[in-house]
Chains A and B, each alone.
Chain A
């Protein structure tokens, strides 16, 4: 710890300023989109009475899961005494707060009545896991801010471990709650399962790690700091482990469904003949977001940072594809109204709903991501989040 000094991002970097302007423009576009949706009504989006949660929710859930997972590094360093991770613990906490803020922003701005946010914060139905999540999400921001505070305030380092444990437990409950949003829905064949809670935990670990990779590799370019090879090796193995965990639980979920005759329809739709969904699942998630990154993370020939960055980006894209299948694919498939009967109505029963995302939805989702990134890049400029050393790199200086 003595070898690590933290500082704000110093100097002027062209890439930094370009990124800043780009993010501001994207946030502006997101806000315009949100205003357009709220003033006109949701008819300007691709969502309708069958597919009620669309692309914005894919981005929002992605950001929330990444936020929870981004705290990995801090958790490992504080709770599991991984000293190699300590230089990046502060950035990890910052990312967690920023990503969650972005995710919450997208969720709130997509509400039918975002002006009623105060109602959402004062009227609670505690049977609803969504209501619990409102507490969990806002509380997470406060808990991680407290975590950052004890990490960054001299004299408070004695509390880092206990606050870190608290944040870890909070994370696990939060991510389980996010999975439970879907898992508690009995109506949909693709949901109605407890496995979604641990699946979302593993997804958060995998996505959070991927976002963390992208962030630290970018910061290293600006900072001149290098991720030590020991830490890099650990992070790569951990990333591979998390991705394999996700693949395992997804495989388990779908295999189990295949044993249930009443779930064969949804499985065939999502995995075989559902149009865009099987492509996103197999190509986007399993191959590009799963198998290939695992290979690159584990194979020593791909240990250069450029490979890790690419693998991380692929995991992110794969995660978005997977969330698209989970959230939208499940809604596109018709409900089983009466077992043993085919359903037909003039009103889309028994039919696949064709959902096409629109520009406002994309702008809103990208706006949320940009907000998260903007908070991060501004904060690293203002406060000492980034590590720098005056002596030898940690990890190469073990006692």
Chain B
């Protein structure tokens, strides 16, 4: 289980006294977001990192929408008044086991696959996977063909169907391009956690954990190794960055 940290300038170093002072005790056994050495602002993202998101469905309540609200606030995802056209970067999904009728609730967002179908099909290369595993849309080159939306096995992407106003400076979005969960890349690049993870820890059931899957010492990495997690659609062998437990 990871914990949101106070917003801090870039050069925070794990293990230092500063880190200890910044620890927010929400629940026992809480750890800081595990990070590799913080990245300098002129350095590119590194392939030595692989960002991952762990979802514990056992802790996800059916009627809780903290993650969705947080995402909508963070990125100024205004409703359009026409629900099928609304942007949805993250949504709550109810899965009902067909044999037992047991139901489980979990959040569904872009899975940040290692082998993303959306990246394969984009004609201009606007849909791409960053070196550290985050799958993004470069809206400068997106022509709005929506082929990636056809290709995504999770319906994770949205198309902007009308003019957008009131964007946040760190989350540009505009009409005619495709968008999806960015794993809050603007936060991650500042050594913070995604908005959904933060809000789940504070307002929700603490079902979300974020960290570096490539770092053997990180909490997420240890959790994945010690407890069974699965990706969605494992038959497609996408090696998703988002892993689920309790499904």
Contacts and interface: CB of A to CB of B under 8 A. Distances in A.
Given A127-B120, A335-B154, A342 B96 contact: yes
A344 B146 contact: no
A112 B145 contact: yes
Contact of A113 (B91, B144, B155): B144
Given A112-B146, A120-B124, A130-B121, A49 B97 contact: no
A52 B146 contact: yes
Interface in A21-54: 38, 40-43, 48-50, 52-53
B125 A331 contact: no
Contact of A187 (B86, B88, B123, B151): B151
B125 A347 contact: no
Contact of A341 (B86, B98, B125, B154): B98
Majority secondary structure, B binding face: loop
Interface residues of A, number: 50
B143 interface: yes
B77 interface: no
A348 B84 contact: yes
B99 interface: yes
B232 A123 contact: no
Nearest to B234: A339
B84 A112 contact: no
A53 to B, nearest CB: 7
Interface stretch (B157-165, B195-203, B212-220): B157-165
Contacts of A50: 84, 155
B93 interface: yes
Nearest to B174: A113
Contacts of B85: 43, 48-49
Interface stretch (B45-53, B175-183, B186-194): B175-183
B233 interface: yes
B151 A338 contact: no
A349 B93 contact: yes
A129 B247 CA distance: 35
Given A41-B161, A187-B236, 17 more contacts: A41-B163, A43-B161, A49-B86, A49-B88, A112-B177, A119-B124, A128-B121, A134-B123, A181-B147, A185-B150, A331-B150, A337-B154, A341-B96, A343-B96, A345-B108, A349-B93, A353-B84
7 contacts: A42-B176, A111-B144, A112-B177, A124-B124, A337-B93, A349-B108, A349-B155
